[in-house]
């Protein structure tokens, strides 16, 4: 009977580890999916609306889009967020490279990197 508490403790530890690993995997997938979403939004705006140029009407497009997305989905779609989406698509034009990066780095890290002025520092 003395093995039961030991077995229960081992079982608890093993299940706890499985839960923690699953949580970590979910966090990675959510981060990667969100980052790819932001990239797709930025890419779509850049190519279909702005024609890869910073047109004067771009500000109005960003404002209108931000207002519409905020009304539909709530907070999190500010004009600044839309500009982040544009920036990530400009900074990482190859979505395969972006996908690899976002599996390793959080959105916060990528946002910091994409605003570095020096290409060498950004690539490092």
Per-residue pLDDT reduced to its tens digit, 50-88? 666 665 667 788 899 999 999 999 999 999 999 999 999
- pLDDT (0 to 100) of residue 124: 58
Closest CA to 81 of 105, 54, 108, 47: 108
Question: Per-residue b/e over 9-19, b at no fewer than 16 CB within 10 Å?
Answer: eeeeeeeeeee
Q: pTM for this one?
A: 0.78
Q: What is the domain partition of the chain in residue ranges?
A: 3-123
Closest C-alpha to 68, from 59, 60, 77:
77
Task: Report the phi/psi class of residue 16: left, alpha or beta, with left for phi > 0 and alpha for psi in -120 to 50.
Answer: alpha
Per-residue pLDDT band at 2 (split at 50, 70, 90): low
Confidence of residue 9 (pLDDT cuts 50, 70, 90): confident
Distance of CA 11 to the CA centre of its chain: 35
């Amino acid at each position: 009977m003395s093995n039961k508490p030991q077995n229960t403790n081992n079982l608890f530890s093993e299940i706890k580890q499985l839960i923690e690993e699953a949580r970590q995997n979910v966090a990675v997938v959510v981060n990667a999916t969100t980052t790819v979403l932001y990239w797709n939004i930025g890419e779509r705006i850049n190519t279909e609306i702005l024609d890869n140029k910073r047109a004067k009407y771009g500000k109005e497009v960003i404002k209108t889009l931000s207002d519409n997305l905020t009304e539909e989905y709530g907070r999190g779609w500010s004009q600044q967020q839309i500009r982040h989406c544009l920036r990530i698509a400009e900074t990482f034009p190859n979505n395969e490279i972006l996908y690899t990066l976002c599996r390793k780095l959080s959105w916060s890290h990528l946002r910091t990197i994409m605003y570095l002025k020096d290409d060498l520092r950004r690539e490092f």
